[in-house]
Structure 1
């Protein structure tokens, strides 16, 4: 019989923080620092597990008052329906304000063009940057973690972006002793990553501890998928499957969610949070490395997009 891997607990010292307590405390501190330093922060919220955990932490940081900022979603138009439903239910449950930047609107206006491969993740940058400018957001919380991908491993918790939204690793500031520098010139803004020091396993252990609800696609379910480049992708209007790609029903779950055209499922029977934790503890691939086709476009795909203004 398999057992879930749980976070280590300190029992000798009743005042010692557990591993998850320390991560939670750090994240709560970051949310409060931003609320004190910036005028118009916003949480980038996709309805994925990291942004859900991030919102949970923000609710804790300011309870019993609501968080002093809203949510921003860059909607590619190819999002999983289950995730969009969860997003809207979450906003309604907590009475939050949701801003939506639509990639489809930019395509309809002719500002952006569809890519030949149907992937819209790389098209999110312009709608994101224009939404930040339109609403004058000066700090943007993102759910990026350093364990996800090598470009994200270079990030600071406070990541300075220039007036074009671009990221330059040489301009990132030291953050000794958890001291964060939010200074920025007019037109610049700061991306803030409260989950930087978390791992995928930490996130799931925290979800289990806090009993946080997630969209159903994070757990094993039967779904029609087809194989492309070693990943199980969902068929859709974005162009899949192509000729020669056969749709079949598999028992799968998603480790991360994004544009349906580039987010792959993994075969899994993990239908509970405990089973997911056990599965992740045995995995040697990050969720982006295993399931995100947009990160495989080139060796430096993520870093290139970050320099252009992507998260």
Structure 2
């Protein structure tokens, strides 16, 4: 197991405070957890969170496994990064996919929110039931989307993994209640008070390697409705009659399933360039999530049903 990466330069005070808070939350939750797990998508937020978990308990091995809910439409570069990260940082990696949904051919090209419900929400609930996890760490941030802002740091889920934002516990002076009734579980969000810019800056200052899709490179893309889709697997891509696949230099700010996550033109090839480019952007981080724009179901409704 590699030691957690050290700062390439001095960590500034704001990031140091966020780091200390996140490590405190991780240790507080772990002190009460029986069967903890950390959700790991291979995206920037879960990568930073997993790095913090490794840092919080070093030199011991990370005391929780990584769980990746595989939609079966993940970017191949993300899967390779996932495997490499777990191996290098000493995490046990557990992967779960909804095999019934796979067999039924559920896919992100069909309209509606069936794909998200079956291959994301139901798959996550299946994985949590199989593992019987009581404390589930996730990398969600409050600034990411309006329903995220309703989350507590320690968010109670009822039987069936449902979420009721009106029945969450007060968290005054960073005092967290970890008591659980029968059938309840906790979803814990150590990055709640971080912003997207904090994530980029922290990864830069701590020298954390992120998935290569976050950095500009020539990639095969096609344009639909003004959005650039990277053709990650040409054999599985559903081309429309007027689609033209071309090579463009693009990157991502957010990563999801490759047929419904848009890239954008960029020249940022390292983290310092990404920080500068993000600071100048007026677009939302989730603008690249095509499902948010095409009626894929509100994130809050999905969360109430068990989505992370």
Identify whether the pair has TM-score above 0.5, normalized to the shorter chain: yes
8 Å contact from structure 2 (residues 11, 205) kept in 1:
no
Aligned to 1:220: 216
Distance 1:113 1:223 in 2: 26
Aligned to 1:41: 36
| Superposition TM-score, scaled by structure 1 size | 0.89
Aligned to 2:143: 147
Note if 1:160 corresponds to 2:140. Answer: no
Aligned to 1:191: 187
**Cα deviation, residue 300, structure 1:** 6.0
Aligned to 1:260: 258
Measured at CA, do residues 113 and 240 of structure 1 come closer, stay the same or move farther in structure 2, by a change above 3 Å? closer
After TM superposition, the structure 1 = structure 2 runs for residues 287-306 of structure 1, keeping only pairs within 5 Å, are: 287-288=285-286, 290-298=287-295, 301-306=298-303
Per-residue deviation, residues 284-309 of structure 1 (Å, max 9, x unmatched): 23311x21012223396111111110
- How many matched pairs? 295
Aligned to 2:196: 200
Measured at CA, do residues 8 and 47 of structure 1 come closer, stay the same or move farther in structure 2, by a change above 3 Å? closer
Unaligned runs of 5+ in 2: 1-8
Per-residue deviation, residues 52-92 of structure 1 (Å, max 9, x unmatched): 10011001111111121101000011111111011111111
Q: Secondary structure at the match of 1:244?
A: coil
Measured at CA, do residues 146 and 214 of structure 1 come closer, stay the same or move farther in structure 2, by a change above 3 Å? same
Per-residue deviation, residues 192-232 of structure 1 (Å, max 9, x unmatched): 11111111110010011100011211100011111223321
Distance 1:178 1:102 in 2: 35
Distance 2:59 2:247 in 1: 45
Aligned to 1:98: 93
Distance 1:200 1:108 in 2: 32
Distance 1:121 1:257 in 2: 15
Measured at CA, do residues 183 and 233 of structure 1 come closer, stay the same or move farther in structure 2, by a change above 3 Å? same
Distance 2:295 2:30 in 1: 37
Aligned to 1:86: 81
Aligned to 2:49: 54
**Cα deviation, residue 47, structure 1:** 1.1
Distance 1:174 1:126 in 2: 29
Aligned to 2:248: 250
**Cα deviation, residue 118, structure 1:** 9.5
**Cα deviation, residue 238, structure 1:** 4.8
Aligned to 1:13: none
8 Å contact from structure 2 (residues 112, 296) kept in 1:
no
8 Å contact from structure 1 (residues 234, 240) kept in 2:
no
Per-residue deviation, residues 151-184 of structure 1 (Å, max 9, x unmatched): 1111111111111111111011111111111222
Measured at CA, do residues 7 and 150 of structure 1 come closer, stay the same or move farther in structure 2, by a change above 3 Å? farther
Aligned to 1:76: 71
Distance 2:36 2:251 in 1: 33
Note if 1:271 corresponds to 2:269. Answer: yes
Aligned to 1:3: none
**Cα deviation, residue 108, structure 1:** 4.0
| Superposition TM-score, scaled by structure 2 size | 0.90
**Cα deviation, residue 109, structure 1:** 4.6
Aligned to 1:14: none
Root mean square deviation, CA, Å: 2.1
Distance 2:81 2:112 in 1: 24
